[in-house]
Chain A
Amino acid sequence: MSALATLFIANLPTIVSSVQKLFNVPEAAGEVAELVKFVQDVTTYLKQNEPLTTTDKEILDASIDAMITAPEQQSDT
């Protein structure tokens, strides 16, 4: 695990907790669930120790392609 990845993952629980508090999100259960899933996903990715299978690579490429049209990628301008 690279130092950067370790640093990133080490801060994630604090970040998630702070985001929850900051935006008073206990009501926004969907957002909390999403943040928790994000932490879980990153934790899973960090455990990877061999090259991805063809299927996993296709899933990764599809997820990158899906970013292009995602609402969060739309700029203010």
Chain B
Amino acid sequence: MKRLILLCSAVLALTLSGCQTYKKIEGLLNTATTTTVSASTTTEIIVDAQKTTRIAQAAFTEFLKEDKRHADLLKAHLPAVHQFAEYLREKVTFDPGYGPVLQVPRDVAVLKQLRKATDVFEANRTATGEFNLRSAIAVVKGLLLNTKTNLTQIQSLNAP
């Protein structure tokens, strides 16, 4: 009987301890998803996101126009530049969060994803929203850097 009481006490202690641990994790997750970001940081991130979107939209468009205009020359002398242009043009899936899933060029998809993440963060200002937005910014900045590198490659063709 004494053993049974000890066993029951141990099980009860473990269960309560488990519940408390679960509550701690739940609390942390709630904090992570609901913690608001300070107003100045919020504005800074939103401005960075919008600025990146506008610059990237102009840069992708200009780069792809240059590639189309001089496709034969680039295919012959800088095939990697043309391949990068084709990579940007490749159709990928984008879920706008409403209506049907879309098949759009990759550059459009990443810009739309960034716009979506910006709007969500602007509305809820949570840590999760900030994380998603920073991730979307990083993706677009990566492609922007590649676009710049490829434009510089075009420049190298003209180097003496």
Q: Are A35 and B62 in contact (CB under 8 A)?
A: yes
Q: Answer yes or no: A52 CB below 8 A from chain B CBs.
A: yes
Which A residues are CB-close (under 8 A) to B107?
Answer: 67, 73
Q: Answer yes or no: B23 CB below 8 A from chain A CBs.
A: no
A5-B69 contact given A15-B152, A18-B155, A74-B89, CB 8 Å threshold: no
Q: Answer yes or no: B25 CB below 8 A from chain A CBs.
A: no
Report the nearest B residue to A77, measured CB to CB. Answer: B86
Minimum CB–CB distance from B22 to chain A (whole Å) comes to 39
Q: Answer yes or no: B120 CB below 8 A from chain A CBs.
A: no
Q: Answer yes or no: B53 CB below 8 A from chain A CBs.
A: yes
Q: Interface SS of chain A: helix, strand, loop or mixed? A: helix
Q: Are B51 and A5 in contact (CB under 8 A)?
A: yes
Scoring A45, A73, A77 by chain B CB atoms within 10 A of each residue's CB, the highest score goes to A73
Scoring B46, B89, B91, B155 by chain A CB atoms within 10 A of each residue's CB, the highest score goes to B155
CB 8 Å contact bits of B95-134 with A (1 = contact, 0 = none): 0000000001101100110010000001000000000000
Q: Answer yes or no: A27 CB below 8 A from chain B CBs.
A: no
A67-B157 contact given A48-B51, A75-B90, CB 8 Å threshold: no
Q: Are A45 and B54 in contact (CB under 8 A)?
A: yes
| A37-57 at interface with B (beta carbon < 8 Å) | 38, 41-42, 45-46, 48-52, 57
Bound CA span A63–B58, Å:
9
Scoring B54, B64, B68, B115 by chain A CB atoms within 10 A of each residue's CB, the highest score goes to B54
B residues near A (Cβ < 8 Å) are: 43, 46-48, 50-55, 57-62, 64-71, 73, 86, 89-91, 104-105, 107-108, 111-112, 115, 122, 141, 144-145, 148, 151-152, 154-155, 157-158
Q: A15-B151, A18-B154, A60-B50 are in contact. List 20 more A-B contacts (CB 8 A).
A: A8-B55, A14-B155, A15-B152, A22-B155, A23-B70, A31-B69, A34-B62, A38-B62, A42-B55, A45-B51, A45-B58, A50-B47, A51-B47, A57-B50, A64-B57, A67-B107, A72-B64, A74-B89, A75-B91, A76-B86
